[in-house]
């Protein structure tokens, strides 16, 4: 059976946008884990962080990510922090191909700095964000594939992902 295609990477790297287009073009199902969590909890991610805290969010993120990763042949966008979870990474290994959408920090930071919908970065300075990108990149680099997106347009990114998935 066909594996899932899992998009990973920092907030603002385009996982949801690219994933949605990929799914539409290939007539596959698309799961945006953040959206699944919001729907199941009847709250926006920022509200979950505020009312229940990050630990609670990470627990349900683990639960829903693993549940959905057990499916086949779907396109899945993980939340930016999900790939840091060992159990989620192990689940991806079983049945999915992971692709890291990599952007340089100088392109990523202006996109996400002060974002009100992203509770994790809301209070971070540019320097903190730089550190976060640096630490996370070491883990993201464990993905099966990496796409350097800096110089690519959306269609070029889509093509690269499809080439990987249809290999």
Does 44 engage in binding with ligand S3P (CB under 6 A)? no
Q: Which stretch binds ligand S3P (CB under 6 A): 10-18, 20-28, 94-102, 146-154?
A: 10-18
In angstroms, the CA 40 to CA 44 distance is 10
Q: Which of 5, 6, 7, 11 binds ligand S3P (CB under 6 A)?
A: 11
What is the dihedral sign for C-alpha 111, 116, 117, 119? Answer: positive
Mask: binding to ligand S3P, 121-160, rule CB under 6 A, as x and -?
A: ----------------------------------------
Residues in 19-38 that interact with ligand S3P by CB under 6 A: 34
Does 89 engage in binding with ligand S3P (CB under 6 A)? no
> Do the Cβ atoms of 16 and 32 come closer than 8 Å?
yes
- CB of residue 159 vs ligand S3P: minimum separation in angstroms? 22
How deeply is 116 buried, as exposed, middle or buried, from its count of CB atoms within 10 A (0-12, 13-18, 19+)?
exposed
Q: How many CB atoms sit inside 10 A of residue 29's CB?
A: 13
**Radius of gyration of the chain, Cα coordinates, nearest whole angstrom:** 15
Q: Which is nearer to ligand S3P, 27 or 104 (CB)?
A: 104
> Do the Cβ atoms of 48 and 117 come closer than 8 Å?
no
Q: How many CB atoms sit inside 10 A of residue 38's CB?
A: 16
Does 109 engage in binding with ligand S3P (CB under 6 A)? no
Which helix (H) or strand (E) is 76 found in, with range?
A: strand 75-77
- CB of residue 82 vs ligand S3P: minimum separation in angstroms? 7
Does 58 engage in binding with ligand S3P (CB under 6 A)? no
- CB of residue 12 vs ligand S3P: minimum separation in angstroms? 7
Binding site for ligand S3P (CB under 6 A): 11, 15-16, 34, 45, 79-81, 118-120
């Amino acid at each position: 059976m066909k594996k899932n295609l899992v998009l990973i990477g920092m907030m603002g790297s385009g996982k949801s946008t690219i994933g949605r287009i990929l799914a539409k073009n290939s007539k596959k199902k698309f799961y945006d884990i953040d959206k699944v969590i919001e729907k199941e909890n009847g709250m926006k991610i920022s509200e979950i962080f505020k009312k229940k805290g990050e630990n609670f969010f990470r627990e349900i993120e683990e639960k829903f990510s693993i549940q959905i990763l057990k499916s086949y042949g779907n396109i899945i966008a993980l939340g930016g922090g999900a790939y840091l979870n060992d159990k989620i990474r192990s689940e991806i290994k079983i049945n999915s191909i992971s692709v890291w959408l990599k952007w340089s920090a100088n392109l990523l930071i202006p996109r996400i700095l002060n974002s009100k919908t992203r509770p994790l970065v809301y209070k971070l300075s540019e320097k903190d964000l730089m550190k976060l990108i640096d630490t996370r990149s070491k883990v993201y680099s464990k993905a099966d594939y990496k796409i350097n997106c800096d110089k690519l347009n959306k269609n070029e990114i889509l093509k690269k992902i499809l080439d990987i998935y249809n290999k």
